[in-house]
Structure 1
Amino acid sequence: MAKLFQPTQVGDISLKNHIVMAPLTRNRSPGAVPNDLNVEYYRQRATAGLIITEATAITHQGQGYADVPGLYSKEALDGWKRVTDAVHAEGGKIVVQMWHVGRISHTALQPNGGKPVSSTNRVAKAKTYLVNADGTGAFTETSEPRALEASEIPGIIEDYRKAARAAIDAGFDGVEIHAANGYLLDQFMRDGVNDRTDEYGGSIENRTRFTFQVVEAVTKEIGARRTAIRISPVTPSGESYDSNPQVLFTHVVEGLAKYDFAYIHVIEGQTGGERDYRQGDNPSFDYIALRAAYEKADGKAAWMVNNGYVRDMAIEAVETGTADLVAFGKPFIANPDLVERLEKNLPLNTPDQATFYGGNAKGYIDYPSLEKVA
């Protein structure tokens, strides 16, 4: 049996294989509360070694898309407890991806219709998802943000800490800090977005300060071995870019190495877009050098890779040690039994893109498993 399908350990979390269900925003939690559909969706996919939930807002201010779940109300946490119980009953493991979208939001989604917050007051050339009065969903331009005052940042760090504690209390096996894809922490780290002149702007040390402060707060609260982080060195999502991502993210992983994390989740290229795979399509970013820098700094967390991996690539990555875990996104949408299909090298269902965002059971919990096909 290929190593990909064998058990492994990441931090304090024991996994039955090296296959991870990547976080996938599906916009099916009205009121930011997980519901029966969400329980069934995650239960169906519990054969993954690890499930990472869809990105989940740590506060109302952190929300940027309609009908995504939260971690900030009793109703939401009760809903997540039902999800974690269902996944655990099937023998699975699940962590929550903690999310603050920053400027990738809309006033309609913010408390009292306020402006989204960011490292900057510049509008992102990006879209968010709103639900219309008739119940239909539509993508729309993001709203103008306001730059956070330095005095406000400790409050958001505290929000991350509280959300991490709430997640563990709701039965999650750990948390993943979302510091990727042009959202709040990424907006601070990148010089193409961060135009600040205070202690959170300018130098790489200043721009990464917020991220490391969040890491410190979360690991102190729940332990580093139940904590993970997601980074995306070159993704342009949310109009996010940096003039020297290799230097920036080398600094990031060297700083993360001091923590005994469960795993580091690295998006190789743009999620759902162009590949930037090691020395492949775009050698402008060297992922092998990034991991080498992490290990040289004595980092020991599992290394998770993500973006366009297929069966043979995933098997090779784990067998050769270039990765410890491989995350699959879209294949898990259409294949609740993806692990079995990969192990047996069987055909995969094709996802219905029209049902990705919003809706009901269609395209969410009705994809056929091998058991149903048989």
Structure 2
Amino acid sequence: MANQAPTLPLLTPYKMGKFDLSHRVVLAPLTRQRSYGNVPQPHAILYYSQRTSKGGLLIAEATGVSDTAQGYPDTPGIWTKEQVEAWKPIVNAVHAKGGIFFCQIWHVGRVSNSGFDGVEIHGAHGYLIDQFLKDQVNDRTDQYGGSLENRCRFALDIVEAVVNEIGADKVGIRLSPFADYMESGDSNPKELGLYLVNSLNKYGILYCHMVEPRMKTVGEKIECPHGLVPMRKAFNGTFIAAGGFDREDGNNAVAEGRADLIAFGRWFLANPDLPKRFELNAPLNKYNRDTFYISDPVLGYTDYPFLDSTA
């Protein structure tokens, strides 16, 4: 009898708090700008369910918690009853296939987790929280500016508020200390990242989702191997790494203990059955950047083919 091929590290099970994951391939939060009028639409039911596998973790696109939180057109919200009701069939479709679904929120407010399994706080990529964290952009002179402790205070206040609202076991955060999106850089990103994860340990949150330093700005990839290792070692909960990973990089990161889970964005966008393709080492659909942010409910959204339909 032939020896069975070893299981890929990315496809081994993992227990994240109370959640039993069947593999370590995570759908990264991806803004798609197809929630017309800030209301999630029925076509999102198909989009998310296509990318759901039993025991797989999905993180929803950035979702506003107030009408002042929106920075881009047609991004979803969750601050009105209409928006909450519109999310329910999407969440139900993910749950029907055995998936685990977290909602990424832009900043704290009237957070509703009904129908979602948890919340990811968006503290990355030059948006509101990141603007407080980075010394290149934070020029405040009050208790939220100046020292490292003061610059991190706003982020930790938000974490504390969300934890108090829904419980630490349902809370994650996304951070990009090394990134320079929208000129929001920091003079000592390693120190910033370490201070944040050590501070987050006090709240006992479920996971920290951090972007590799090699992803410095949109589309710019630089060589900076293993830059997240100190943060990964310092954080007590589940550590999710993102930023330019492919099948080989992701497997190595998990095998070497540099991350528990790996978030994939563009490749998961273009390959709804990405875990299956990784398992078979099958060719991947190429993604089309021109359709990332258009408003079409199908083109570049739900029309990427599955492996069995391309065979």
TM-score, with normalisation over the residues of structure 2?
0.93
Match of 1:93 among 96, 100, 107: 100
In structure 2, the partner of 1:245 is 189
C-alpha distance in 2, partners of 1:65/1:274? 22
Structure 1 spans left out of the alignment, 5+ residues: 101-156
In structure 1, the partner of 2:230 is 289
Q: Do structure 1's residue 24 and structure 2's residue 27 form an aligned pair?
A: no
Match of 2:88 among 81, 91, 104: 81
Match of 1:13 among 6, 10, 19: 19
SS in 2 for 1:351: coil
Q: Do structure 1's residue 236 and structure 2's residue 242 form an aligned pair?
A: no
In structure 2, the partner of 1:371 is 308
C-alpha distance in 2, partners of 1:18/1:173? 17
SS in 2 for 1:208: helix
Give the letter for the 1:335 counterpart: N
Contact 1:268 1:275 in 2 (8 A): no
Give the letter for the 1:357 counterpart: Y
Counterparts of 1:298-317 in structure 2, within 5 Å, are 299-317=235-253
Counterparts of 1:152-167 in structure 2, within 5 Å, are 157=108, 159=109, 162-163=110-111, 166=112
C-alpha distance in 2, partners of 1:239/1:55? 20
In structure 2, the partner of 1:260 is 204
CA RMSD of aligned residues (A): 1.6
Task: Tell me how far 1:272 sits from its aligned partner.
Answer: 4.6
C-alpha distance in 2, partners of 1:272/1:21? 18
Contact 1:225 1:260 in 2 (8 A): yes
Match of 2:61 among 51, 54, 62: 54
Contact 1:208 1:252 in 2 (8 A): yes
C-alpha distance in 2, partners of 1:38/1:306? 23
Give the letter for the 1:254 counterpart: N
Kindly provide the CA deviation profile for residues 177-197 of structure 1, in whole angstroms up to 9, marking residues without a partner as x.
000000001101111111111
Give the letter for the 1:253 counterpart: V
Contact 1:12 1:226 in 2 (8 A): no
Contact 2:124 2:176 in 1 (8 A): yes
In structure 2, the partner of 1:344 is 280
Match of 1:217 among 154, 161, 184: 161
Give the letter for the 1:351 counterpart: Y
In structure 1, the partner of 2:129 is 185
C-alpha distance in 1, partners of 2:219/2:196? 24
C-alpha distance in 2, partners of 1:262/1:4? 20
C-alpha distance in 2, partners of 1:290/1:229? 13
Task: Tell me how far 1:64 sits from its aligned partner.
Answer: 0.1
Contact 1:13 1:262 in 2 (8 A): no
Match of 1:326 among 258, 262, 268: 262
Contact 2:39 2:76 in 1 (8 A): yes
Contact 2:58 2:100 in 1 (8 A): yes
Contact 2:64 2:106 in 1 (8 A): yes
Task: Tell me how far 1:221 sits from its aligned partner.
Answer: 1.3
How many residues get paired?
301
Structure 2 spans left out of the alignment, 5+ residues: 1-6
C-alpha distance in 2, partners of 1:370/1:290? 36
Contact 2:56 2:98 in 1 (8 A): no
C-alpha distance in 1, partners of 2:194/2:236? 15
Kindly provide the CA deviation profile for residues 58-117 of structure 1, in whole angstroms up to 9, marking residues without a partner as x.
1111100000001111111111111110001011111011114xxxxxxxxxxxxxxxxx
Which consecutive segments of 4 or more residues in structure 1 shift more than 6 A?
Answer: none
In structure 2, the partner of 1:273 is 219
Give the letter for the 1:330 counterpart: R
In structure 2, the partner of 1:129 is none
